[in-house]
């Protein structure tokens, strides 16, 4: 398995406002879901096919992104796939989600969202959100 690769890049729209939670040790995690649609042809008819993918962002990036991840917002996410497995009523269940490592906020939501406007989100250009850079640290580095 040393040559396997777990990398995914998706573009979709957020299905509900993101939830910010904290683990027992105080680590932040932000959870949201995106809808990814495509058109297929079935019986000479065009149909929309939609997949819903759960996404999780961790730590400082989770705190920074949470206010901007609102329903309807188009995003590009990059990261790795994580499968969750559990047993329910004697049945084995599983679900695949994405652990987000990179994200871009694309455009604005389809509907005018006053919460987004109040948070100062620009609608005419892409926004890239990165973790804080070295300029945000107080320490003097002697080199």
> Is 1 a member of any domain?
no
Question: What percent of the chain is modeled with pLDDT above 70?
Answer: 74
Which whole number is the average pLDDT over 105-115?
59
Sorting pLDDT into bands at 50, 70 and 90, what band is 3?
A: confident
Which whole number is the average pLDDT over 52-65?
93
Sorting pLDDT into bands at 50, 70 and 90, what band is 40?
A: confident
* Residue 31 vs residues 2, 34, 74, 89: alpha-carbon distances, Å: 30, 10, 15, 26
CATH number of the CATH domain containing 100: 2.40.50.140
> Is 138 a member of any domain?
no
Question: What percent of the chain is modeled with pLDDT above 90?
Answer: 57
Question: Per residue, what are the HEC states of 105-127?
Answer: EECCCCCCCHHHHHCCCCCCCCE
> Is 140 a member of any domain?
no
Spatial separation of the C-alpha atoms in residues 45 and 120, rounded to whole Å = 41
Domain count, the chain: 1
Sorting pLDDT into bands at 50, 70 and 90, what band is 1?
A: low
Domain span including residue 57: 8-132
pTM exceeds 0.85:
no
Q: Assess whether pLDDT exceeds 50 at residue 86.
A: yes
Which whole number is the average pLDDT over 131-141?
49
- Which tokens is 79 given? 């990261």
Spatial separation of the C-alpha atoms in residues 107 and 109, rounded to whole Å = 7
55 membership: H or E segment, kind and range: strand 45-58
């Amino acid at each position: 398995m040393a040559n396997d690769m777990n990398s995914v890049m998706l573009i979709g729209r957020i299905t509900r406002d993101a939830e910010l939670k904290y683990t027992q040790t105080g680590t932040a995690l932000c959870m949201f879901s995106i809808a990814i649609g495509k058109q297929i042809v079935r019986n000479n008819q065009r149909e929309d096919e939609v997949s819903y993918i759960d996404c999780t962002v961790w730590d400082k990036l989770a705190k920074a992104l949470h206010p901007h991840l609102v329903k309807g917002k188009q995003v590009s996410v990059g990261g790795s796939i994580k499968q969750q497995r559990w047993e329910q009523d004697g049945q084995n269940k599983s679900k695949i989600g994405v652990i987000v490592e990179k994200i871009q906020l694309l455009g604005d939501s389809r509907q005018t969202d006053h919460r987004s406007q109040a948070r100062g989100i620009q609608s005419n250009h892409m926004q890239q959100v990165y973790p804080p850079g070295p300029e945000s640290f107080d320490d003097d580095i002697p080199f």
